[in-house]
Structure 1
Amino acid sequence: MLDSLRVMQLYTFLVVLALCATTWCSAIPKPDDDHKKRVYDKKLSDQQHETNGFHNADYDHEAILGRDDAKDFDQLSPEESKERLGKIVEKMDKDKDGHITELELKEWIKYVQDRYVIKDTDDRWKEYELGSNNLDWENFKKRTYGFTEEDLAPNDERAVYKEMIVRDKRRWNKADLNKDSLLSKDEFIHFLHPEEAEHMRDIVVMETMEDIDKDKDGKVSLEEYIADIYGNDDDDEEDEEDPDWVNEEKEQFHNFRDKNNDGYLDRDEVKEWIIPEEIDHIDTETNHLIRTSDADQDGKLSKEEILDKYDLFVGSQATDFGEALKTHDEF
């Protein structure tokens, strides 16, 4: 039986196979529907930091807490919000000198952003019940798919997974930096989350091209681009006018994505689209928080300075929710 790592891949793969025989989408979904997100730009939050010239504190809350915990803090009274923030500040203060330096604040924000990747890797690593510090390919394959290629009889229906196994093996080899055919836990992080590692970026681009380039001509047409993002079946929409958001996305394709104006996205253009030039969001956010909270202008933050601006860091509602108040062992 396939484990959870393959669920989304399997679903996508089977849908691709079915596209030639059936009409999968009867209408173009709206852009805020659950569509594929191809761009990896490592933003600290999906929120805008400024909206119409006004600062959006929700961005700061997600940078400091992460999305899920930021939502939970919003349900706390100011008193409880400050209390929990105080415990977070104690964790930030690695050298226990009573102040949060720029470096300590950066390290905390990076930890929050990496927390999902680390937890996801830890959870999956435990599934293999390893007797050593490394994971071998056959163990991974057997545990993930429930079989190996040798188990397949002629015309076995499980052969549909062969392409997925080939892709996994290619990604595995790229993640295996020391080329010992095994993955350490650090290498396994790169295998599961290739977008997080510089040396894995080519694999991300290659897999993206394979997913989007349906006619396998080595480039992405406008139709393939729109269909991938929004699941649009052009045949169903020939007689209908495109919604505004589709027209806007087409403009993005022509004016920004297609650099050489040949009507297609080549490999380099796809890479620039999904892995844009790195912006140091952590550095920008750290400077913003210190600049806004550093009352004595000494370049670092005391616990008192942070708690005085608690609504900037974590937020809360000034309401007593009684039994509805949530607690977090982590904090």
Structure 2
Amino acid sequence: MVVLKKKEMMQCYTFFLLIIVVVASAIPTKADDQKKRVKEKSLSDASHSEDGEHNNDYDHEAFLGKEERQTFDQLSPEESRDRLGKIFEKIDKNSDGFVSEDELKDWIQYVQKRYITTDTERMWKDYDISDTNEITWNAYMKRTYGYGDAGEPKEGDPVYEYRDMITRDKRRWERADGNNDDKLNKEEFSNFLHPEDAEHMREIVVLETLEDIDKDKDGFISVEEYIGDMLSDQKKGEPEPDWVVNERKQFTDYRDKNKDGKMDKHEVMDWIIPTDYDHSSAESKHLIYESDKDKDGRLTKQEILDKHDLFVGSQATDFGEALTRHDEF
């Protein structure tokens, strides 16, 4: 398994390796555009390891979901354990008193899909201003940029300086628009918001990643661009963190498959959306390995409760909002 560092992952979309669209009434800033990039279809913004140590934050978000992890500090340890026990009952679909690897995998996938569904519904209500249950490109432009002309922004237009962002949105829009009618239904809109989760949108994810990291615009990602993207907020002259040495080796040994010193779009695809790696399956195996005390390949409620910190954290963290959601139980 190739592991991405936390600094790298924190530049992902604010979802399931996730993508968001600017919804403020005001014209968005260029910083908003950087947030609208997916760099890996992962289960969390956090890296699964940090500086060589396992990072439980990844497990918390994979198990609870992005939005549901935030208010665990509102619960006492007793309350959180009680809620975790109720989550166990939801995962144990056949009610045999055990959680199997498949049941845990199904739960993790459900949590990730729930975020996408919830996010799409929220955005849909904000954008769907027509009676046709569709969103037009013009409506999207007006709501996002305050600019209603469907044509390309021209010099002097209020949003001319955001033309690159608009061009990028338009490209993603056209790929999501399955019937090419310049309108998106709810399913197409979900693909627009979360292209990392749709097979036919993966090329868009790759292009956006390549464009953001390829600073010299030669169509490739060099090792320095790759490292620089992770160290974008590091001050000049500061020594590189120790983990950077490992990332340089990862680039040379695994990312740059043809050994030409750079990543092309195919190598970027292998990096951010590996076809031979199932995140939910890997995470379910990991959680069972760490929690299965009697090593029978399945988890009892007590085994999960005994590993409470692994699944939902503790009061020292800010993860666990799912445990406060009464509609989950």
TM-score, structure 1 length as denominator? Answer: 0.69
Q: Quote how far apart the aligned CAs of 1:142 are.
A: 1.7
> Using the alignment, how far apart are the partners of 1:66 and 1:195 within structure 2?
17
Query: Is the counterpart of residue 89 in structure 1 residue 88 in structure 2?
Result: yes
Three-state SS of the structure 2 residue aligned to 1:215 is coil
Alpha carbons 2:116, 2:190 under 8 Å: kept: yes
When residues 214 and 149 of structure 1 are mapped into structure 2, their CA distance, relative to the original with a 3 A threshold, is: farther
C-alpha distance in 1, partners of 2:58/2:155?
54
Shift in CA distance, 57/127, structure 1 to aligned 2, threshold 3 Å:
closer
- On the 8 A contact 1:44/1:281 being kept in 2, the answer is no
Segments of structure 1 that go 5 or more residues without pairing to the other structure are 16-34, 319-325
Q: Does the 8 Å contact 1:76/1:316 carry over to 2?
A: no
- 1:19-38 matches, within 5 Å, as none
* Residue 286 of structure 1, aligned match among 284, 287, 290: 284
Tell me the distance in 2 between the aligned counterparts of 1:38 and 1:154.
30
Map of 1:147 onto structure 2: 147
Preserved CA contact (<8 Å) 1:41 1:278: no
Q: How does 1:1-331 map to 2 (within 5 A)?
A: 3-4=23-24, 10-11=30-31, 39-43=39-43, 46=46, 48=48, 60-66=59-65, 69-70=68-69, 72-73=71-72, 76-94=75-93, 100=99, 102-130=101-129, 131-149=131-149, 155-231=156-232, 240=237, 243-245=240-242, 246=244, 248-289=246-287, 292-293=291-292, 306-307=304-305, 310=308, 313-314=311-312, 316=314, 327-331=324-328
2:228 and 2:56 mapped to 1: Cα distance? Answer: 35
Report how far residue 199 of structure 1 moved: 1.5
Separation in structure 2 between the aligned mates of residue 265 and residue 314 of structure 1, nearest angstrom: 37
When residues 37 and 312 of structure 1 are mapped into structure 2, their CA distance, relative to the original with a 3 A threshold, is same
Q: What's the % identity of the aligned pairs? A: 48
Secondary structure of the corresponding residue to residue 159 of structure 2: helix
Map Cα deviations across residues 226-259 of structure 1 (whole Å, 9 max, x no partner): 44332379xx95xx58535455544443443333
Offset at 1:215? 3.4
- Given that 1:60 and 1:312 are in contact with CA atoms closer than 8 Å, whether structure 2 keeps it comes out as yes
Task: Measure the CA separation in 1 of the matches of 2:172 and 2:205.
Answer: 9
In the other structure, the counterpart of 2:14 is: none
Q: CA RMSD in A?
A: 4.2
User: Structure 2 regions of 5+ residues with no counterpart?
Assistant: 1-21, 317-322
After superposition, the Cα gap between the structure-2 partners of 1:255 and 1:107, relative to the gap in structure 1 and judged at 3 Å, is closer
The structure number with the bigger radius of gyration is 1
Distance, in Å, in 1 between the alignment partners of 2:86 and 2:41 is 30
Q: Distance in 2 between matches of 1:314 and 1:232?
A: 30
User: Which amino acid in 2 is paired with 1:133?
Assistant: N
SS in structure 1 opposite 2:188? helix
Alpha-carbon distance, 1:38 to partner: 6.1
The amino acid across from 1:262 in the alignment is D
Q: Does structure 1 conserve the Cα–Cα contact (< 8 Å) formed by 2:138 and 2:150? A: no
1:202, CA displacement in angstroms?
0.7
TM-score normalised by L of structure 2: 0.69
- Number of equivalent positions: 297
Residue 20 of structure 1 is matched in structure 2 by none
Higher relative contact order (CA 8 A, sep 6+): 1
**Structure 2: distance between partners of 1:280 and 1:41:** 10
Asked whether the equivalents of residues 77 and 316 of structure 1 are also in contact (C-alpha less than 8 Å), the reply is no
Superposed displacement of residue 105, structure 1: 2.7
